[in-house]
A and B are shown apart, each in its own frame.
Chain A
């Protein structure tokens, strides 16, 4: 429990990082969506679409953040120090995941409020459903943060984390345009968790939640990534 508390504390004390995960998507949202309040985008009101997209963007940064901490701790030799205390690895993971989500939550809330200020209207259950879908859909990114944190040297990590988020954002349609609406590229996009995250706003309005395809894509990413993360953890443990 103390470990969890300090994990949160260390996250919060990285103020600049916190400000960026909260502030950047908010600035982008107002900058782009203010002028397009009444536009529609692939059949969805643009503010709803872009609000969801920016919430996803900020939250992706928030949930890969433990990776940055892992890499720093690793480079300082602290992970070795932790491994000779009674702290269990799974307690450490759980605390880091919880801290990641605690960081992502304010981003979602803030973007939802911003969306509402530009005319996004959803019923209470729809807001909750949207938040729920986003939190579930972020799981693969949490795991990606862990993998990069254990594998990438600390001085290359910011670029690696940023690069991964931007790539998934771009192909997922986070930046307000879709690279394709049919063909092989579109098939690739539909294989990404970020695509379905961005679609969550539209999905909620349509009712009935994500199609099975979305659940399969997200589950598949998690199933593939978790063994990779376990491998990365063991590799860094045996080497560092």
Chain B
């Protein structure tokens, strides 16, 4: 599309680190994102996703490391209109109508999309004449999306774009996103919704405690974690006793049913049947992304110590 994307440089983060006082928010992030790729930054709250995104757009200066966007520093990429972003905090400007706000954003960019097209794609056309201060949460989110999109940036950064939005609103949002990414944009979005990362990203970058703990397509991440779980009906057995079985990482009880998250499901199954022959309705299932997520984000935090907490 533009000269910068033709060079195939994409987005490059190298050795990125940032501390706030004693808190090391981001500790050494290396990431290369190819042009046209849709990447999810997935992680729990406080993992360093927002700090990483802020450094990518130049809002926060890294303590260490470098960011390059299409071969240039963030400030230059922003100045030339290559970057559009939907930040977590940006609520729309007041004393303006929706259409005016989007037109205002368009005026900042060298080659904006037609305002009406963007309003239609994002579904903001239904309330284009409304004051920006009189919008519902879902409407405000569409407006912010429209504002990020209207400059037709090559790189679109979305920090928890669907936080606080109902299910229908989320589905509409991602439908609109699909329409946009078909135009060959590079998209990076932060989320703590696993299903969003699973469904909409080409690639998931899992972040925990300021570090990348896994990076790859959703299927690969599931495999990497190797988590499998065992479900069984087993009344009256202490969760702590189940957690202590070989191969079991954590155990939960839901009424008569127990759920064992396993590091080694084969060993766990043998041990379970040996210790509790009364176990019935046994199912062994492949790890879900959720389990992979929990395993990978908990790794290094004394996974064993987590057992009792997870069981609660």
Contacts and interface: CB of A to CB of B under 8 A. Distances in A.
A14 B96 CA distance: 11
A59 B33 CA distance: 52
Given A81-B147, A85-B151, A13 B95 contact: yes
A80 B96 contact: no
B141 to A, nearest CB: 13
Contacts of B100: 6, 9
Given A84-B78, A85-B108, A86-B78, A77 B91 contact: yes
Contact of B79 (A1, A3, A86): A86
A73 interface: yes
A2 B107 contact: yes
B108 A87 contact: yes
A9 B132 CA distance: 14
A80 B108 contact: no
A221 B287 CA distance: 67
A76 B90 contact: yes
6 contacts: A2-B103, A2-B104, A76-B90, A80-B89, A84-B85, A86-B151
Interface in A111-128: none
Interface in A94-146: none
Q: How large is the interface on B (under 10, 10 to 19, 20 to 34, 35 or more residues)?
A: 20 to 34
B87 interface: yes
B190 interface: no
Contacts of B94: 10, 72, 76
Contacts of B103: 2
A224 to B, nearest CB: 27
A15 B89 CA distance: 27
A177 interface: no
B244 interface: no
A3 B104 contact: yes
Q: How large is the interface on A (under 10, 10 to 19, 20 to 34, 35 or more residues)?
A: 20 to 34
Interface of A: 1-3, 6, 9-10, 13-14, 72-73, 76-78, 80-81, 83-88, 237-238
B89 A10 contact: no
B57 A84 contact: yes
B109 A77 contact: no
Contacts of B108: 3, 85-87
A80 B110 contact: no
Given A2-B104, A238-B61, A86 B110 contact: yes
Provide the main secondary structure of the chain B interface: loop
Top 4 A-B residue pairs of the complex, sorted by shortest distance between their CB atoms:
A77-B89, A2-B107, A10-B95, A81-B90
Nearest to B56: A84
Nearest to A76: B91
B179 interface: no
B96 A6 contact: yes
B105 interface: yes
Interface in B210-269: none
B195 interface: no
A24 to B, nearest CB: 21
Interface string B56-89: 0111110000000000000000111101110111
B107 A80 contact: no
Interface string B90-116: 111111100010011101111000000
Contact of B91 (A1, A10, A78): A78
A238 to B, nearest CB: 7
Contacts of A88: 79
A3 B107 contact: yes
A238 B92 CA distance: 21
Contacts of B59: 80, 83-84, 237
A66 B61 CA distance: 27
B235 to A, nearest CB: 52
A80 B87 contact: yes
Contacts of B89: 76-77, 80
Contacts of B90: 76-78, 80-81
A11 to B, nearest CB: 8
Given A76-B93, A84-B83, 11 more contacts: A2-B104, A6-B100, A80-B90, A81-B85, A81-B87, A83-B59, A84-B59, A85-B81, A85-B108, A86-B81, A88-B79
